[in-house]
A and B are shown apart, each in its own frame.
Chain A
Amino acid sequence: MSRMLFRRSLFGLFTLWIVSIVVFLATQALPGDAAQAILGREATPERLAALRAQLHLGGSLPEQYFSWLGHVVTFNMGSSLASGNPVVDTIGPMVLNSTVLMFASAVIAIPLAVVIGTWSALKKDTGVDHVTGVVTLVLASLPEFVVGVLLVLLLSTGLLHLFPAVFVQIPGEHVWTHPDQLVLPVLTLVLAVSPYIIRIMRATMLEVLDSQYVQQARLKGLPEREVIWRHAIPNAIGPVAQVIALQLAWLIGGVVIVEYLFRFPGIGFELIDSVTNRDLPVIQALVIIIALFYVIVNLLADVVTLAVNPKVRTAQ
């Protein structure tokens, strides 16, 4: 199994490397002059020269790439063109904030979805199951910003006034100092990722409950609780883990919109900002971080899937 994980990790690194080439080609090696594109037509030759030096635009393409890559892997991403601060300092807190947001969403969404999906499968063809089916379908078909706006109307500005509609960060404080500000963004993300997990959990669970080994467990006279927890869930979790991983990976994309909607100071918000400002080093850093996140989440899903499958675990 460890060999398998090692191989998957290598594959992840390979993915990251491809991403780095794409990012480099799309930003640095733009047709024409990246410095000109950033500074616009009215830029003075001195400023252009200075920026070219800062972006390492001299030399051939491979030379440029390897010197750029060298800086990336040593976390020396240069300075933000907008603020002049080092990129790492600029985006460090943003990454932390976004991680908090996503972690909170995942920790709430995953167990909730697994439980609701299982419950729905156990109550197949009853009212509970039908309601869950319709609600998840509606939620899954709504884009997350619509869900966000509806939640704002419902819980913040319109019907009830429970939570603030936008995030106001006081400098020097952590985002979790005011948890009530986190409620709406987290809730939006939970509602956005849960439906898929619920539906796949229900489907997988139905299949498992219909299996011979669950029938055999019941015919052995085991209590229903043991049948579900010991015999059914471990077999259902493998396929579901893959979907959860996909949803988590989606989270980091969805977070861009949700952060923008709630003006939450995270990587999504920052990404939109830096694109507007053509802040090349920040864009590069953020895209690579997002790719890194994708790779890590998928690796984790593989670990879970392998860990619950004894066939793989015991393979020599």
Chain B
Amino acid sequence: MSNSAPTLVVDDLRIVGVPSMASIIDELTLEVNPGEILGVVGESGSGKTTLGLSLLNYCKEGTKVEGGTVSIRDNNLAALNWRQVRSLRGRTVAYIPQSPASALNPALRISTQLRECISGDSSTVLSRVREVLREVALPDDDDFLARYPHQLSGGQQQRVAIAMAFMARPALIVMDEPTTGLDVSTQEHVLLTVREMCKTYDCAAVYISHDMAVVAELADRIAVMYSGRIVEIGRTADVLDHPAHPYTSRLLLAVPDLEAIRPMVGIPGNAPSPMGRPQGCAFAPRCPLADSGCSVEAPKAVTMGERHSVRCFKAGRALPPTPARPQRERSVRAPEDRPVIDISGLKAGYGKFTVLEDISLSVYPGDCVALLGESGSGKTTLSRCIAGLHHNFTGGLTLDGEPLATSSFKRSPEQRRRVQYIFQNPYESLNPRRTVEELILQPVQAVRGRVRNARDLVATALERASLRPDHARRYPDQLSGGERQRVAIARALATEPEVLICDEITSALDVSVQSSLVDLLRGLQAEMGLTLLFITHNIALVRNMAQQVAVLERGRIVEFGDVADIFKDPQHAYTRSLMSATPNFQLPRQAYSDPAAGASLLGAPDPVQL
């Protein structure tokens, strides 16, 4: 770390929404030194993207800077005129966007988009383009330069975006979730590139992410944002080993552990929206340490150590233990058990294009079987075949020994009742014009016709999904993302199914919510004896959720077995590469065990509320 003047200084920044004047970012102060990477971690709605854009003096529509300053190399952005800001952008401070697929212009060649980043005579610019492309480990030949974004893979696109940012040798780089949506192996390459590029150019960087595991690997310092404020900022090691803010501690516990030593615990409740932030400390309603004083006044920043400060009245106080459900890592079955779902020699595709080949899989009652694979591995297609949503397949598929028709239309109502599906994105899977009650009743009516005790049925389903009875009359847009996904779960449970197919159901949600949902599903599995098919790309989640795992690579199951065995001793090269590419996020033991009792916190499960 260099001791020269900081590259970026943000002082008491306040950004508000227009015209509501609700603060999106408040009292935000931070600095980043040259060559230093600051990770900004926060859940959706915490204001991290707004912060990132404000560092380029860019306000999204409906927001404006209300107070405070952002200075880059002693240039106060607010004092510059429009033209000066423009010449600063891309040259002194550059931005790497979240999704390169949408941030690269689809109508322009790579070379055009790279060359326009700097001015100068054509041959100098071109040689600089080639140099930067080589630095991010991309080809630099004319053929590659002439390509359009759609002719590149996701990882290549993101590397082009990185190259674009480094073209003008900026002093500061702002990265907004640059690896979200990439496969783990691609993510690993991109992170490596980012780190090397920052080192090569001695460039300060602000890395915004919701993924604590990624930030922990990459950043020198971490800033944790909650409801528009930095609640804790400090060196990575300090924040991870001695988190002083209750939110930080709980956020760390919510990250799934690849080695499953530490239980994965969610944070009850939801992060407040900018419009509905509570008085006082915004985290107080979810905080296990909160008392009446916390909701009167917002805490000021307290210094905990060198460059480590926290906004909490109870900074550094240990949290009460968080009991977690013990995790089963093996399939338990009696010799006489028959598989509830039995797939043999399944082959599926779209038109002439084969997606799945030679799939054989037996799922036993009461187990959770994870289908693990990267994008394009065919895991969703397989789950859709089982649910009867994808008809174009051949091979054996039985439910409790009875063969299932390829199309759900040809299956009997009873068969349809027994297999239910929860979709990836709760923002799209719930009809916005129906109340929660109507949504929950729909599948029941579809399989059983008229329902007599509709109210009780809805109440039971809501209770099982840990929702309140008054949620029944709400519409989906009155619910948070986590609540929506619980409604989707309640809808699936309403028909009393035996098999629940969960298709990446946490990937659109925050980590704290993800952990609560995983806990909910595990509870349901234990209490109702549900069989779960859990589709995911997140290997750490598999370990915290499933008893058995099937690893899919390019449409084939390359490895299948009990979670305990596969994680201990993966046989297939692909499984091993997945495991090594995933950031292994470990916390010191005192972070999750009760120091007084000296024992692990694995105890009786407590019901997770909203």
Contacts and interface: CB of A to CB of B under 8 A. Distances in A.
B515 to A, nearest CB: 30
Given A219-B89, A230-B108, A235-B106, A310 B58 contact: no
A204 to B, nearest CB: 13
A212 B90 contact: no
The list of the 6 closest CB pairs from A to B, nearest first, reads A221-B89, A221-B90, A220-B90, A212-B102, A310-B148, A234-B107
Nearest to B89: A221
Given A308-B107, A310-B148, A211 B102 contact: yes
Given A212-B102, A212-B103, A213-B103, 15 more contacts: A212-B97, A213-B102, A215-B97, A216-B97, A216-B103, A216-B104, A216-B105, A219-B58, A219-B89, A219-B90, A219-B94, A226-B116, A231-B108, A310-B109, A314-B151
A53 interface: no
Contacts of B108: 230-231, 234
A226 B58 CA distance: 18
B75 to A, nearest CB: 14
Contacts of B99: 212
Contacts of B164: 220
B91 interface: yes
A215 B91 contact: no
B105 A217 contact: yes
B103 A215 contact: yes
A296 B305 CA distance: 75
Interface string B18-61: 00000000000000000000000000000000000100101000
Interface in A221-278: 221-223, 226, 230-231, 234-235
A310 B103 contact: no
A221 B87 contact: yes
Contacts of A212: 97-99, 102-103
21 contacts: A211-B102, A213-B104, A216-B95, A219-B53, A220-B89, A220-B117, A221-B87, A222-B116, A226-B116, A230-B112, A231-B105, A231-B108, A234-B108, A235-B106, A235-B107, A309-B107, A310-B106, A310-B109, A310-B150, A314-B148, A314-B150
B230 to A, nearest CB: 23
Contacts of B56: 219
B103 to A, nearest CB: 4
Nearest to A218: B58
B357 to A, nearest CB: 25
Contacts of B104: 213, 216
A23 B105 CA distance: 47
Contact of A311 (B53, B103, B106, B116): B106
A234 B148 CA distance: 14
Contacts of B109: 310
B19 to A, nearest CB: 13
B88 interface: yes
Interface of B: 53, 56, 58, 86-91, 94-95, 97-99, 102-109, 112, 116-117, 148, 150-151, 164
Contacts of B58: 215, 218-219
Contacts of A309: 107
Contacts of B95: 216, 219-220
B53 to A, nearest CB: 8
Contacts of B94: 219-220
B107 A223 contact: no
Nearest to A232: B105
A316 B106 CA distance: 17
Nearest to A236: B107
Q: Most B CB atoms within 10 A — which of A212, A223, A230, A311?
A: A212
A236 B103 CA distance: 16
Given A212-B103, A213-B105, A219-B56, A311 B90 contact: no
A174 to B, nearest CB: 41
Interface in A173-220: 211-213, 215-220
Nearest to B104: A213
A7 B103 CA distance: 33
Nearest to B56: A219
Contacts of A221: 86-91
A306 to B, nearest CB: 12
A313 B363 CA distance: 46
Q: Most A CB atoms within 10 A — which of B88, B105, B117?
A: B105
Contacts of B105: 213, 216-217, 231, 235
Contact of A220 (B53, B102, B116, B148): B116
A283 B523 CA distance: 77
B150 A311 contact: yes
A220 B117 CA distance: 6
